[in-house]
Amino acid sequence: MADVTKSSQPGKSYKEYLTDLEKLFEEYLHKKAPALPEGVKEAIVRFGPWITLIMMILAAPVLLAALGIGTFLSPFAFMGGINAGFGYMAGLLFSVVVIVLELIALPGLFKREMKSWRLMYYVTLLNAVHNAISLNISGLVIGTLLSMYILFQVREYYK
């Protein structure tokens, strides 16, 4: 079976690119950026998983309704043009993947495990890709930078 982590360039895998990107964010968003106060960091780490859980519970009915209605209406979504249909389907797909990754990360966030922090890092990267695909420039720049800043400020709390 082929190794899907290998890129088209010899010598570097996708995992290595993600690690390099993580090091870049660590350098600029943790070491060089102004640090959050320790009390704020502790509050984010303590209450962040609970806020994530509450947001997921609130989003679940909306996502389930969108999936149910989307199944019925997906053929009609493309009547508005390929862009409208593609945007709707891509948004739905990204939402499902993000929620699944957050569900997987949630127990580890309560335990302050690094693997769960890394899953939230991947969720933020996926959201950045979704914002880029949907041409949401403000969400891409502001949302991604703010999310990455907070993630890398609290990274030291996860082992």
Residue at 22 is within a domain:
no
Mean pLDDT of 18-30: 93
The per-residue pLDDT for 5 is 52
**Does 9 score more than 60 pLDDT?**
no
For the stretch 45-84, pLDDT in tens is: 999 999 999 999 998 888 778 777 766 766 766 666 666 6
**Structure tokens given for 59:** 């989003």
Alpha carbons 155 and 116: distance in angstroms, whole number: 11
Residue at 130 is within a domain:
yes
For the stretch 90-135, pLDDT in tens is: 788 888 899 999 999 999 999 999 999 999 999 999 999 999 988 8
Please count the structural domains in the chain: 1
pTM for this one? Answer: 0.81
Residue at 139 is within a domain:
yes
- Best CA proximity match to 37, nearest among 154, 155, 159: 154
Residue whose entry in the numeric block shows the structure tokens 């993600």: 18
End-to-end, the C-alpha distance of the chain in Å comes to 33
Residue at 144 is within a domain:
yes
Range of the domain at 96: 37-157
